[in-house]
Amino acid sequence: MLIGITGTPGTGKTALTSLLEDRGQYRIIHLNELIREEKLYSEVDSQRDCVVADIDLVENRVLEIADNDKNITIIDSHLSHHIADYIIVLRTSPDVLRERLAKRKYSVEKIEENLEAEALDIILAESVDWCKKVFELNTTEESMGRTVTSIIKIIKGLEQENTSELEERYKPGSVNWSEQFFS
Ligand code: ADP
Ligand code: MN
């Protein structure tokens, strides 16, 4: 089973999946690393200092890795909702996200672009459109440990095909940043 952890940059995908990885229970694909290592991109955008992933190549490769494994594979990527049917969307308030992204070497434009994407629920909306089950997790006021515990609960629920309570608790649309961001 393939489960994606997606969200705007800075919401904690890599930090949280690394904690999950330390527990050794699940296979984790840190997709950005795989894309670079295996050159699964179509272009290098030197102006933005990033690569443009070839989503078909990425999808085929991820499915290949996951297929070889009867266990659970977790994808760490803001692209994971393009690939997996079961998705956890991490959300972080734009104020907190601004501080996190400022610590990276992002330009002001890139920070603003990401904050706006978060405030407009872009990745959440795409996930709801494209995926079978979507869980929205607000990490803003949670410790990383508690968030990892919630993620494990969701994985276990999916594994046991018992998600009705979790779907209610982590219902998409529970988070709304528009008041604080656009007012
Ligand atoms: P992403 O992979 O989604 O771009 P990262 O995991 O690389 O995000 O970055 C998130 C950063 O925020 C990390 O440095 C992490 O330590 C920090 N952080 C602080 N508090 C939290 C929290 N509650 N949940 C997730 N990340 C947090
Ligand atoms: Mn990351």
On the CB side of 129, how many CA atoms lie within 13 Å of its CA? 7
User: With bands split at pLDDT 50, 70 and 90, how would you rate the model's confidence at 182?
Assistant: confident
**CATH fold of 2-182:** Rossmann fold (3.40.50)
pLDDT per position as a tens digit, 50-66: 899 999 999 999 999 99
Six-digit token string for 113:
């672009």
User: With bands split at pLDDT 50, 70 and 90, how would you rate the model's confidence at 21?
Assistant: very high
Q: What is the rounded distance in angstroms from the CA atom of residue 168 to the CA atom of residue 135? A: 9
Say if ligand 1 is within 6 A of residue 9 CB: yes
Say if ligand 1 is within 6 A of residue 10 CB: yes
Tell me, in angstroms, the distance from the centre of ligand 1 to residue 21's CA.
Answer: 15
Quote the pLDDT of residue 183: 78
Ligand 1 binding pocket mutation candidate from 32, 34, 76, 144 (most atoms within 8 A of CB): 144
pLDDT tops 90 at residue 39: yes
pLDDT per position as a tens digit, 147-174: 999 999 999 999 999 999 999 999 999 9
Supply the pTM of this predicted model.
0.96
Helix, strand, coil % (nearest 5) of the chain? 50, 20, 30
Instruction: State the burial class of residue 156 (Cβ atoms within 10 Å of its Cβ: 0-12, 13-18, 19+).
Output: middle
Q: Hey, which residues does 50 pair with through a beta bridge? A: 45
Quote the pLDDT of residue 69: 63
